[in-house]
Structure 1
Amino acid sequence: VPLGVFNLRGALFTDFGTVWDEGGSPRLWTQPGNGPRRLEDLRLSFGTGIRTAVYFLLIKVDAAWRTDLVSTSKPRWHFSIGPEF
């Protein structure tokens, strides 16, 4: 998403996957009583970031949050130099 300022671009992203013990079956979520569904073995994160090119280097700064659909973690910051994958 071009932002139009200083060659900055924006990014939105999400990532998810499953994790469970060997020999067990994955439980994607749990729902205790009448409460909201909470992710169990399914991991989910989302984030936003900015990108800019300085000469031939692509510089990226991202903030990402983990969630279980009930609560959200504090942001985790990522700084990297290089191309998108």
Structure 2
Amino acid sequence: MNKKELVEQIAELSGLSRNKAELVVNAFVNNTQNTLARGNTLQLIGFGTFSVADRAARKGRNPQTGQEIHIPACKLPQFKAGNKLKDAVR
């Protein structure tokens, strides 16, 4: 499913117009991005938790030359599925 299909399903299930459903999807995505960018966590009970994880600096290798390189530390978004989501997928 892509974003367009998601918007159409939300519009159909909620009775909203496609434009309003798209605004809802965009608001959720933007809010999630802003929350994670501030280093906070977004928890939706039963669905899952969006959070930010720190990845330590490490050494790696350039696959073309085999030369050792330094990979700097960074922050990565993470998602941990909730129990209801896990049960629905099983």
Q: Does TM, scored on the shorter chain, surpass 0.5? A: no
Higher percent of residues as strand: 1
Q: TM-score range with shorter-chain normalisation?
A: under 0.3
**So what's the TM-score if we normalise by structure 1?**
0.27
**So what's the TM-score if we normalise by structure 2?**
0.26
Q: Which has the higher contact order (CA 8 A, sep 6+)?
A: 1
- Structure with higher Rg: it is 2
Higher percent of residues as helix: 2
